[in-house]
């Protein structure tokens, strides 16, 4: 049943993770404490934990956990939305990463002072890191063994949910991705008792009480994945304790943004401070935006056209700074807000607006552009290609009121060539200006 998946484990794992990290499927991550609380609510075993936002709270919770568990040691886990926390670096200079074992409440408070209010840099955050405002104070576990278990959407294959499992869990799972075995699930991510038992015994190598607990655990994860409209529910590691029970030691939960009307509690738990501020601004304006690392801003209507626009920019040697789809019912105000977002990105050296007017009226788009151009960063060139519904009127308006920074085109290929050339010239001018200083 699993043989056809084993050989592609690394590719499958990489596909899912690249999609998750880029967040181009309109999904968002929730913090570990939110995911752990949801696991506990769904009857899945998790260690005892408390959430702290100050060093004094860390001390208090560490003492409370000691009274409840009889052990002074506690784990401190930075609530930062990034992988690789245990190997991260703190802006405070604190060594040891974002997951620390403290011998007692006093040490926990001292460690918290170097974590809370500081930024944690990991391989997923970039050099700027992510702010840490809260710590999870957790009872340390003593697992007999650990393994990996996740439910995810197979975006690179079937498009449906799959269950992924591996006998090894923890921080090295990405390096051992070839050992991950995948099992396709039904549309509602249902896992039968027989299927769960097969995963526990054949894939995870468990037997007896441990296998029964792991099978039950896998079924609970599948049900929670479906009920929470998740795109990824990952437990890494899952642990078997000395009593043969399986519990979650770390959890990652990504939720489909389109399910916000069904998941108000999860959506309210979204931490915008952990995300690109451009993404947060765009979401508040009702725009679909994904920040990237290039220098050519893109403002387009329709996801397919937006992706094609980025492709043609790259074809001519440019690098897109963003994916931005203003949609089919966009207003002039939203168009202006979209161009404001692009212009606020200091890395952008030129912008390309590509609109095909169908439901969208090109003259409405042009009105929004004219409004935003009045406050756009001086010297930022904007290339505009408008075709379709009221396109002629829109081009006339832009030529009349757009100003010297605007170039109006009718051909997409011409527009892409022009914006790449303008971006290159803008970068060269900036370099000369910097050198002369």
Q: What does each of the 437 residues of the chain score in pLDDT, given as a tens digit? A: 443 343 345 555 554 444 444 434 468 899 999 999 999 999 999 999 999 999 999 999 999 999 999 999 999 999 999 888 999 999 999 999 999 999 999 999 999 999 999 999 998 887 889 999 999 999 999 899 999 999 999 877 777 899 999 988 776 666 666 788 898 998 788 899 999 999 999 999 999 999 999 999 999 999 999 999 999 999 999 999 999 999 999 999 999 988 888 998 988 888 877 877 777 788 888 888 988 889 999 999 999 999 999 999 999 999 999 999 998 889 999 999 999 999 999 999 999 999 999 999 999 999 999 999 999 988 899 999 999 999 999 999 999 999 888 999 999 999 999 999 999 987 766 655 555 54
- pLDDT score at 393: 96
Instruction: Map tokens 């893109």 to a residue.
Output: 298
Residues 6+ apart with CB under 8 A from 123: 83, 84, 87
Q: Where in the chain is the domain with CATH 3.30.1490.20?
A: 48-138
Q: Assess if CATH 3.30.1490.20 describes domain 48-138.
A: yes
- pLDDT score at 431: 55
Q: How many residues does the chain have?
A: 437
CA distance 90 to 93: 5
- pLDDT score at 277: 76
- pLDDT score at 18: 47
Instruction: Map tokens 């725009």 to a residue.
Output: 287
CA dihedral 327, 332, 333, 336 (to 10 degrees): 90
208: left (phi over 0), alpha (psi -120 to 50) or beta: left
CA distance 314 to 294: 10
Instruction: Map tokens 């809260």 to a residue.
Output: 134
**Annotated catalytic sites, by residue?**
148, 234
Q: Where in the chain is the domain with CATH 3.40.50.261?
A: 276-426
Asked whether 204 and 214 are in contact (CB, 8 A), the reply is yes
Q: Where in the chain is the domain with CATH 3.30.470.20?
A: 3-29+143-268
Provide the token pair at 307: 């992706």
- pLDDT score at 435: 53
Fold of 276-426: Rossmann fold (3.40.50)
Fold of 3-29+143-268: D-amino Acid Aminotransferase; Chain A, domain 1 (3.30.470)
Nearest to 52 by CA among 97, 125, 116: 116
Write the DSSP symbol of residue 320. B
**Rg over CA atoms, the chain:** 25
Instruction: Map tokens 């506690």 to a residue.
Output: 74
- pLDDT score at 4: 35
Write the DSSP symbol of residue 98. S
Provide the token pair at 383: 């290339």
- pLDDT score at 175: 65
């Amino acid at each position: 049943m699993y043989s056809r998946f084993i050989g592609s484990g690394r590719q499958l794992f990489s596909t899912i993770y690249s999609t998750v990290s880029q967040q181009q499927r309109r999904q968002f991550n929730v913090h570990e404490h939110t995911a752990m609380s949801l696991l506990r609510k769904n009857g899945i075993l998790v260690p005892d934990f408390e959430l702290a936002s100050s060093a004094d709270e860390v001390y208090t919770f560490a003492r409370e956990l000691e009274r409840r568990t009889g052990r002074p040691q506690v784990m401190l886990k930075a609530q930062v939305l990034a992988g690789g926390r245990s190997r991260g670096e703190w802006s405070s200079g604190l060594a040891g990463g974002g997951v620390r074992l403290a011998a007692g409440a006093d040490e926990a408070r001292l460690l918290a002072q170097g974590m809370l209010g500081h930024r944690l840099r990991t391989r997923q955050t970039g050099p700027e890191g992510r702010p840490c405002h809260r710590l999870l104070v957790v009872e340390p576990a003593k697992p007999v063994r650990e393994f990996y278990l996740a439910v995810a959407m197979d975006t690179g294959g079937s498009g449906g949910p799959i269950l992924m499992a591996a006998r090894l869990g923890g921080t090295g799972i990405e390096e051992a991705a070839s050992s991950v075995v995948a099992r396709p699930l039904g549309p509602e991510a249902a896992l039968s008792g027989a299927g769960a038992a097969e995963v526990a015994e054949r894939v995870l190598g468990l037997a007896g009480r441990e296998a029964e607990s792991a099978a039950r655990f896998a079924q609970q994860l599948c049900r929670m994945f479906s009920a929470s409209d998740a795109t990824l529910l990952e437990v890494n590691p899952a642990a078997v304790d000395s009593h043969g029970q399986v519990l979650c030691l770390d959890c990652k939960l990504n939720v489909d943004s389109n399910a916000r009307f069904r998941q108000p509690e999860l959506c309210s738990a979204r931490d915008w401070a952990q995300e690109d501020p451009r993404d947060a601004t765009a979401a508040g304006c009702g725009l679909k935006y994904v920040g990237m690392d290039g220098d050519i801003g893109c403002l387009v209507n329709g996801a397919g056209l937006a992706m094609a626009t980025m492709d043609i920019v790259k074809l001519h040697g440019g690098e897109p700074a963003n994916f931005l789809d203003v949609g089919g019912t966009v207003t002039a105000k939203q168009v202006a807000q979209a161009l404001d977002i692009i212009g606020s990105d200091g890395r952008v050296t030129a912008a390309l607006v590509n609109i095909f007017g169908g439901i969208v009226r090109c003259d409405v788009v042009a009105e929004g552009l004219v409004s935003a151009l009045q406050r756009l960063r001086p010297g930022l060139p904007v290339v505009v290609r408008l075709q379709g519904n009221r396109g002629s009127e829109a081009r006339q308006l832009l030529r009349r009121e757009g100003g010297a920074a605007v170039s109006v085109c009718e051909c997409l290929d011409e527009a892409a060539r022009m914006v790449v050339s303008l971006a290159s010239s803008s970068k060269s001018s900036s370099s000369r200006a910097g050198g002369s200083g």
